[in-house]
Structure 1
Amino acid sequence: MNTSPYSYTLDSTSMSSAGHNASNMSNGNAAPASGKGAGGSKPSGPSPLACLTCRQKHLKCDGQQPVCGRCMSNQLFCEYTPSRRGYKGPSKKRRADPPPTDPSQMMSDPRLFALDGRNPEIPSNWNMPSSGAGPISTIPPAQTTPPEMAQTPAHPSGIQSQVVNARSPLTPDSSSTVGADGYLVDVYYSNFHAAHPILPPLHKLFRNSPPHYLEQVIKFIGAHFTTAASPETYRPYVVAEVVDQPPSPEKVQALLLLTIVLHSRNEREEAGSMLAQAMDLAYDIGLNRRSFAETVGEADPIREESLRRTWWELFVIEGMLTALGVRASFTANTIPLEVPLPCEERIYQDGGLFPLASPPTIAQFDDRVFADEDIDFSSFSYRIEAVRILGRVVSLSEMVTGQQELVESVDARIVSWFHHLPESKMELMLADGTVDEMMFQAKMIVNGASIYLHFPRSDLLSSPAVAAEVICGHSGLCLMPAFSHHSHAMKAVKAASEISNLAAIRMPETKHTPFFICALVLSSIVQLAAYSVKAGQVPDPRRDRLSLTVGVFRSLGKTWAISQSVNRQIRAVARDVLDIGVRPATDQNSLDFTAFLEGNQFWLSNAQVV
């Protein structure tokens, strides 16, 4: 028996039963069927009968029953609709024989090993292998039961039956390693994983049986990206279930993922609490130590890489939430950074051999500028460096004197970051048409750091856009400039425009990190401030960028609640600012913009700092 690295035990009875049936399916040992489709020679012409799955995909069907050849090979749900011509109702035998309710009988039906493709919101190829068994799928629910009606315990535990009745509602206690809501794992990996890639690749995830609570967090996040499930089904219990678990790296991962999704749901105080617990636990178990991944990884390079990525993702998220005012201090940036850097995404996701026997370190990354030989660093590494720069900017806001030299130094580091990007990292669009999400975030963070550095030292603070209470804002003082006020303003506006340009990349916005919403908020405030300070002198391109940003807020609002709130707030500020732009000059001059400022704060935050 394989020992799981996760402290998690599966129901051996249900898993062995599922593995036995899956083996029978893979060997073609389906129940014998009557008629020509079950065996014998293949008909020479097209089959007069086609299953619903092949019809829906407009594919040729061989008409074999009970499962056609295409559905058998792809493990899809196979169902035939009998002709209604001359139909006179059910026969006496069918009326007398009720459908099977015994799970063992249901397991013998090969159709129950495949996914019902009738719901377009559910992927048609979600196959998640369980321990020691081949891919198993189950029929998704026909409808979702409201949370208040679901007969679900507050903290479901253990593994439920591997097969759920086709008519059963989607409830937390019906989920399992391969449950009726298992397709949400695929949804998570298709829409969220690339933005925060800490978990093993999908084809590796279930090899070692992840703990149930981590699986529920994955499904909770995945439910935000599909109308076939509701995240509110999971929300009442998922946080408490994770918090109650004993210390482990998987608990850190679950807390970290909850931090991201709760912040995106506009539950910012709860997100701060999850992050605080994740950081404390990471320090307690030694996740920040170089040797941790090798010690706990059990010679599995994928697991070792996942553990390293978990630490660095904590580093990134704490840095961003500190800048956004949710976290009081960037603690991870105050300790020695000894964990090796993550590898390239394509290597990690493919699960192949890693190119270096020893992953590069932060020290090697810092020395790359003066090294004799060029070393290829991953996009994740440049993202980490971007957060380190952001951390230096945030620390400057706490200093009262002696800032000028430090401001100049950090500004030089921001510009240097762009100059030292290798050619392979300059273009975000990859050859296959996808976006390098890690470099996307790296550029987003560096430009955000530039805004935090220059905007409070600029002449753009005399604007009502500055004092508006907008989510993702951070409280900060109006700071003394290191350059001229105008120079700081130009650098801030340039960074804001670069963030807007990221929004113009043609790809689904939901595949980006939800923190992109916060970056767009910073960009919008700067551009609105520039528009209001020099009303009537601003060209249309800046207005077009604001229109693009509002459109992105609207699109992301379908997935993340924080974007809905931000969209309303930014549009309200934009209406006020644009109205200033069309007023007569005498009215503009009579406005006292500084009256809008509260205590010289240039951003306001409604979150409790933890």
Structure 2
Amino acid sequence: PPTPLTSSDPSFSGRRSSTPSNSTGDAIADTRNPAKRPRPDYSADRHLWIQVSTCNPTSQPAPPGSNSPTTLAGFIELFFSLFHPTHPFVLPRSSLLKQLKQRRLGHLLSVIQYIGSCYSQTGQTESCRDVANHYLFNSQVRKDGFTVQALLLFAIGLHSCGERERVSQVLSMAVDMALEIGMNRQEFSVNNGEGCKVLEESWRRTWWELYVIDGLLAAIHQKSTFRLYNIPTDVPLPCEEVDYFVTGNVPNPIQLADIDDSAFSSEERVFSSFAYRVEAIRNVGKILAVGQRGVSEESDVDEADACLVNWALHLPESKRSLVDKDGQIDEMLFQAYMIANASAIFLHRPRSHLAFPQHPDDTSCTPPRHFALPTKADGFHTAKTIGAADDIARLITLPTPLIKHTPFFTCAVTVASIVHLSSCSFLLTSDDARLAKERVRLSVGALKTLRDVWPVASTVLHQVKAVAREVYSRKPTPQNPWDLATEEAIMRYLEDEQMQGLDELCADAYQELPIMPVEGNKV
């Protein structure tokens, strides 16, 4: 029988509620007054609510304190319209409905509602988080793929809401469970797919999403290892999003070896955007391995750098534009570029002139500062670092609302802004420094937008502004009118909500692809 998930952290035991857990179901119920129990909380809209309630009349009641059905339905709608495309591993809505008719998934639905509530700005995110916490840690849930999905979503939500310490524990539980039930093996998706190609694809996507998030968090915090990087796996790579979400015609999946050997194929092969995202995060594993060995050999750094450059050089033509003819952004490809450029910063900055900034620049989204002996002239590493930060800044200017991107973009923007602040504090010429300041303003504007949804963006926004005040409070030698600007005037620029004057910069950025910098070429 299913048992409650446990954690060494008492915060996972429902510390904000004294309501006892229900030992016989996978929900928290107020058994003392059944007449006041809220209705089940797993519908994406009214129609779905009715169908689920009709098809599963014994569904578990929602925990005390749950929001109204109408509000919760809105949260689920926000999840599927805004978040799901950025981390597309949970079943599409119609397929999830079929599963809800057959099994209890209150733990998964409660986490979906929690993440959806972040977009609502109704002030109910904390209560939704507590409901999800109850479902996952005070109730009996099965060790299966759906629980791995719930834990993974919860970890992403906690990170995005700035609960850093809890993230590592929840993610570790998701990784442990995934390995225990064998999600790293190809046969898992077939054995648990119930003959449904879409469900099989969801299990493959869940494994690779867990792999991606494990790598992202390891790179951002660099206090935990990329556990899944060295775990053997033969899970095929995900298909294109249109095949998963729209048509449901999931093609025969491809293996990692196919993409590894594609450079030597007689014909150009095109893989899914998700596959290129996986390839980008694999490079993160290589870079972290270089850093963990202490003294880096030149060959190790060169190999990691070659992997980053090769990732960009071998992209097929159809994957070199992030915007299609209809103006839609390929979010998986967007994240792949984001990861690739952030990886370049992680590799090159410790070996560059920027390794020792003239001011404190620690933030919640940047790795701890460290210095590594350069394997080439440190100017080489400096140019690579600044070029990658420039490319991340260009991603901000793409024609789509920033809240439609992954919440991890907050950390990429922060990393890039710190690089630009470090560079303009002592390194760049006046013209380059002026452009770097504009890019800092661009990053600040992006963080202001993202903070309306993700609390972590509010935290790093204050931290980036503090670094900016340190940088711009110095008294530079006057060279031109910009350099004569007072600290107060510069900070007014940083506070400018409309970011006026960036039209020319943004127009130029639309014309440039965010391609990884190649040695000897200016991107």
Q: Would you say same fold, with TM above 0.5?
A: yes
CA–CA separation in structure 2 for the residues paired with 1:10 and 1:233: 18
Q: Does 1:230 align with 2:124?
A: yes
Q: Match for 2:230: what amino acid?
A: T
Q: Superposed, which structure 2 residues align to 1:137-156 within 5 Å? A: none
Q: Match for 1:195: what amino acid?
A: T
Question: 1:405-430 deviations in whole A, cap 9, x for unaligned?
Answer: 11111111111111111111111112
CA–CA separation in structure 2 for the residues paired with 1:559 and 1:581: 37
Question: 1:506-558 deviations in whole A, cap 9, x for unaligned?
Answer: 21111111110111111011111110122663342221111110001011111
Deviation, structure 1 residue 213: 1.2
Deviation, structure 1 residue 394: 0.9
Q: Highest Rg: 1 or 2?
A: 1
Question: 1:308-327 deviations in whole A, cap 9, x for unaligned?
Answer: 00000000000011111265
Question: 1:414-451 deviations in whole A, cap 9, x for unaligned?
Answer: 11111111111111112332210000000000001100
Structure 1 portions without partners, runs of 5+:
1-7, 12-101, 104-114, 116-122, 136-156, 162-169, 589-610
The residue that corresponds to 2:93 in the other structure is 202
Deviation, structure 1 residue 230: 1.4
Question: 1:553-590 deviations in whole A, cap 9, x for unaligned?
Answer: 011111111100110110111121122263579xx9xx
The residue that corresponds to 1:17 in the other structure is none
Question: 1:43-71 deviations in whole A, cap 9, x for unaligned?
Answer: xxxxxxxxxxxxxxxxxxxxxxxxxxxxx
Native 8 Å contact 2:352 2:379 kept in 1: yes
The residue that corresponds to 2:412 in the other structure is 519
Question: 1:362-397 deviations in whole A, cap 9, x for unaligned?
Answer: 011101111223332100000001000011111111
Q: Does 1:185 align with 2:81?
A: no
SS in 2 for 1:355: coil
Structure 1 residue corresponding to 2:281, chosen from 367, 387, 393: 387
Higher helix share: 2
CA–CA separation in structure 2 for the residues paired with 1:431 and 1:252: 36
The residue that corresponds to 1:292 in the other structure is 188
Native 8 Å contact 1:265 1:562 kept in 2: yes
Deviation, structure 1 residue 173: 6.6
The residue that corresponds to 1:486 in the other structure is 379
**How large is the Cα RMSD of the aligned pairs?**
2.9
Deviation, structure 1 residue 352: 2.2
CA–CA separation in structure 2 for the residues paired with 1:443 and 1:355: 25
CA–CA separation in structure 2 for the residues paired with 1:558 and 1:305: 33
Native 8 Å contact 1:444 1:499 kept in 2: yes
The residue that corresponds to 2:472 in the other structure is 578
Q: Match for 2:216: what amino acid?
A: M
CA–CA separation in structure 2 for the residues paired with 1:273 and 1:309: 22
The residue that corresponds to 1:544 in the other structure is 438
Q: Does 1:241 align with 2:161?
A: no
Structure 2 residue corresponding to 1:565, chosen from 459, 462, 471: 459
* Cα gap change, 1:10 to 1:458, in 2 (>3 Å): closer
Deviation, structure 1 residue 249: 0.8
CA–CA separation in structure 2 for the residues paired with 1:282 and 1:130: 33
Native 8 Å contact 1:126 1:183 kept in 2: no
CA–CA separation in structure 1 for the residues paired with 2:196 and 2:399: 37
* Cα gap change, 1:415 to 1:536, in 2 (>3 Å): closer
CA–CA separation in structure 1 for the residues paired with 2:296 and 2:350: 16
CA–CA separation in structure 2 for the residues paired with 1:133 and 1:230: 24
Q: Does 1:399 align with 2:293?
A: yes
Deviation, structure 1 residue 475: 2.2
Q: Match for 1:503: what amino acid?
A: I
Structure 2 residue corresponding to 1:158, chosen from 41, 54, 60: 60
TM-score (normalizing by structure 1):
0.67
CA–CA separation in structure 2 for the residues paired with 1:464 and 1:308: 46
Native 8 Å contact 1:340 1:362 kept in 2: yes
Q: Match for 1:472: what amino acid?
A: C
Deviation, structure 1 residue 353: 1.5
CA–CA separation in structure 2 for the residues paired with 1:502 and 1:518: 13
* Cα gap change, 1:132 to 1:236, in 2 (>3 Å): closer
The residue that corresponds to 2:421 in the other structure is 528
The residue that corresponds to 2:48 in the other structure is 128
The residue that corresponds to 1:346 in the other structure is 242
Native 8 Å contact 2:222 2:368 kept in 1: no
Question: 1:190-227 deviations in whole A, cap 9, x for unaligned?
Answer: 11001100111122221110601111111111011113
Q: Does 1:273 align with 2:175?
A: no
Deviation, structure 1 residue 234: 1.4
Deviation, structure 1 residue 248: 1.3
Q: Does 1:458 align with 2:360?
A: no
The residue that corresponds to 2:5 in the other structure is none
Native 8 Å contact 1:268 1:326 kept in 2: no
Native 8 Å contact 1:510 1:556 kept in 2: yes
Number of residues of Structure 1 aligned to a counterpart in Structure 2: 437
The residue that corresponds to 1:370 in the other structure is 264
Q: Match for 2:435: what amino acid?
A: P
The residue that corresponds to 1:444 in the other structure is 338
The residue that corresponds to 1:53 in the other structure is none
CA–CA separation in structure 1 for the residues paired with 2:308 and 2:475: 33
CA–CA separation in structure 1 for the residues paired with 2:475 and 2:405: 33
Q: Match for 1:353: what amino acid?
A: N
The residue that corresponds to 1:61 in the other structure is none
* Cα gap change, 1:9 to 1:477, in 2 (>3 Å): closer
* Cα gap change, 1:486 to 1:335, in 2 (>3 Å): same
CA–CA separation in structure 2 for the residues paired with 1:414 and 1:160: 47
CA–CA separation in structure 2 for the residues paired with 1:372 and 1:133: 55
Query: Greater CA deviation, 433-442 or 368-377?
Result: 368-377
CA–CA separation in structure 1 for the residues paired with 2:118 and 2:296: 47
Q: Match for 2:207: what amino acid?
A: W
Question: 1:54-94 deviations in whole A, cap 9, x for unaligned?
Answer: xxxxxxxxxxxxxxxxxxxxxxxxxxxxxxxxxxxxxxxxx
CA–CA separation in structure 1 for the residues paired with 2:76 and 2:334: 24
TM-score (normalizing by structure 2):
0.78
Q: Superposed, which structure 2 residues align to 1:310-349 within 5 Å? A: 310-325=206-221, 328-349=224-245
* Cα gap change, 1:453 to 1:302, in 2 (>3 Å): same
CA–CA separation in structure 1 for the residues paired with 2:429 and 2:311: 35
The residue that corresponds to 1:468 in the other structure is 361
* Cα gap change, 1:130 to 1:361, in 2 (>3 Å): farther
CA–CA separation in structure 2 for the residues paired with 1:200 and 1:237: 21
The residue that corresponds to 1:508 in the other structure is 401
Native 8 Å contact 2:26 2:107 kept in 1: no
CA–CA separation in structure 1 for the residues paired with 2:279 and 2:388: 17
Native 8 Å contact 2:110 2:131 kept in 1: no
Native 8 Å contact 2:92 2:245 kept in 1: yes
* Cα gap change, 1:475 to 1:259, in 2 (>3 Å): same
CA–CA separation in structure 2 for the residues paired with 1:229 and 1:303: 34
Q: Match for 1:377: what amino acid?
A: F
Q: Match for 1:286: what amino acid?
A: G
